[in-house]
Structure 1
Amino acid sequence: MTKGFKIEHPNIPRSLEKANFQDIFYEEEPYLSNCMITNAIIDNEEIDRVVLSKVIFKNVTFINVSFKKIDMTDVIFENCDLSNASLSEGIIHRVTFKDCKLLGVDFSEGNLGNVSFENCIANLSNFTEARLKQVIYDSSSLQSANYYDCKLSKVEFYQSDINDVDFTQTSLKGIDISTCTFDRLNVAFESLAGCEVSPEQAIGFATLLGLKIKQ
């Protein structure tokens, strides 16, 4: 269980109509709402400013897609593959990614609020210059993810693999990484001020500083 703060979960009606992603092309604007898309493959789509509201994607694979400046509110992705998708400059609010493959997904310059990543594989994902507020990573893998120059507020990494994550120019004040595993992080020591770590992690950081720990 995560701790420290609560996030708002997607607010989705109990009854949703089944839809195809291609239905988006029948709208004047690229907009989908109040629907469920399941067991589908969405490939080679490049659409800017897609708007999704109250949508569930389940067992959906996205291949070679670019949805820059996407606007998502109250959306769930369950057992989906969005690897290498471009969601840069997106507004992502009350969104859950559960059991998803997110290898190399581009969230750069995005604005993420009340977002949870649950049991996801998000290695090499890119959050460069993104703003994250009330975001939880729960039991997820983020190896070599990039958080360069991010603004983090009420963000928790819980029992996740953050090995070789790049936190360059990103403050970790108030961020809890105490339950995470990693061999190394790319982070300036001044950016660690106020970061919540375990005793074992503290010893590791002290060793990197050249301190000798006496038992």
Structure 2
Amino acid sequence: MNNKKKKTMLQLPKVPDNLPQLDLNNQLEVDQYFNNGSIYDCEISNKCIERISFEKILFNNVIFTNISFRNIELTDVIFDKCDLSNVDFSNGIIHRVKVTDSKLLGMNLSGAALRNVTFNDCFANYASFGFSDQKNVNFNSCSLSHADFYESKFKNIEFNRCEMHQANLAGTSLKGIDLSSCSFENLTVSIEQLEGCIISQEQAIGFAKILGLVVKQPHE
């Protein structure tokens, strides 16, 4: 019998090559829909826009400062080497998006729907994913310390080699979620939602403490 874990098949962003450059700072004053363009080596600051939409967009080396794009729609979008710290993308619809080597400190994705999203080598401490609905999402080599996944819905979610100390997974079913390659000293979880969570032998000691068990070491 083949017991190997079935690899999640993600749909990658469909972003064309050689996209024309967009001057987002000026165009944000008149447009709320942007497609087929690249935005790079710039800062976008002090914008508060509801229901803005980006499709087939490449963001490269872009700093977002004091940005609130609630109910944002992102489809076929790549963020590469960007700073999205403290941006508000809450209640967004995020589909076929890839985020690589980016800073997401305190980013707000609460209530968002994420489909086919990849986070690679991102610093996402204190990021908020509370009440999010996630399907086909990969977190690869990310720092997620103190990140909030409270009462999220997970389907085909992977955490690979992530730092997750003090992450909040309370109210979130961890059935089928493999945390065995991740590192953490403590997690906030709901005991009734732990069934089926995949962990390493070393992590089992920490989870025993979460369950209120006293782990006796040999020869004690």
Q: What's the TM-score bracket when you normalise by the shorter of the two chains?
A: over 0.9
Give the one of 194, 198, 201 matched to 1:199.
201
* Alpha-carbon distance in 2 for matches of 1:158, 1:78: 19
* Alpha-carbon distance in 2 for matches of 1:16, 1:38: 11
Please say if residues 203 and 213 of structure 1, whose CA atoms lie closer than 8 Å, have aligned partners that are also in contact: no
Q: Does 1:66 align with 2:68?
A: yes
How big is the shift at 1:25? 3.2
- What does residue 149 of structure 2 align with? 147
Please say if residues 205 and 215 of structure 2, whose CA atoms lie closer than 8 Å, have aligned partners that are also in contact: no
* Paired amino acid for 2:177: I
Range with greater deviation from structure 2 (190-199 or 204-213): 204-213
Please say if residues 76 and 96 of structure 1, whose CA atoms lie closer than 8 Å, have aligned partners that are also in contact: yes
Mark the runs of 5 or more structure 2 residues left unpaired by the alignment.
none
* Paired amino acid for 1:115: V
**TM-score normalised by structure 2 residue count:** 0.92
* Alpha-carbon distance in 2 for matches of 1:131, 1:83: 21
- What does residue 22 of structure 2 align with? 19
Q: Does 1:6 align with 2:9?
A: yes
How big is the shift at 1:207? 4.2
* Alpha-carbon distance in 2 for matches of 1:4, 1:189: 27
Paired residue secondary structure (2:29): helix
Q: Summarize deviations over 1:172-200 as a string: whole Å, max 9, x none.
A: 11111110000000012221111111121
1:38-77 matched pairs, under 5 angstroms: 38-77=40-79
* Paired amino acid for 2:29: F
The 1:208/1:110 distance shift into structure 2, 3 A limit, reads: closer
- What does residue 181 of structure 1 align with? 183
* Alpha-carbon distance in 1 for matches of 2:184, 2:193: 17
Paired residue secondary structure (1:152): strand
Paired residue secondary structure (1:17): coil
Please say if residues 185 and 206 of structure 2, whose CA atoms lie closer than 8 Å, have aligned partners that are also in contact: no
**TM-score normalised by structure 1 residue count:** 0.94
How big is the shift at 1:3? 6.8
How big is the shift at 1:26? 3.6
The 1:213/1:207 distance shift into structure 2, 3 A limit, reads: farther
Please say if residues 86 and 105 of structure 2, whose CA atoms lie closer than 8 Å, have aligned partners that are also in contact: yes
* Alpha-carbon distance in 1 for matches of 2:10, 2:216: 39
Paired residue secondary structure (2:44): strand
* Alpha-carbon distance in 1 for matches of 2:106, 2:139: 16
Identical counterparts, % of pairs: 41
Root mean square deviation of aligned Cα? 1.5
Please say if residues 24 and 32 of structure 1, whose CA atoms lie closer than 8 Å, have aligned partners that are also in contact: no
- What does residue 90 of structure 1 align with? 92
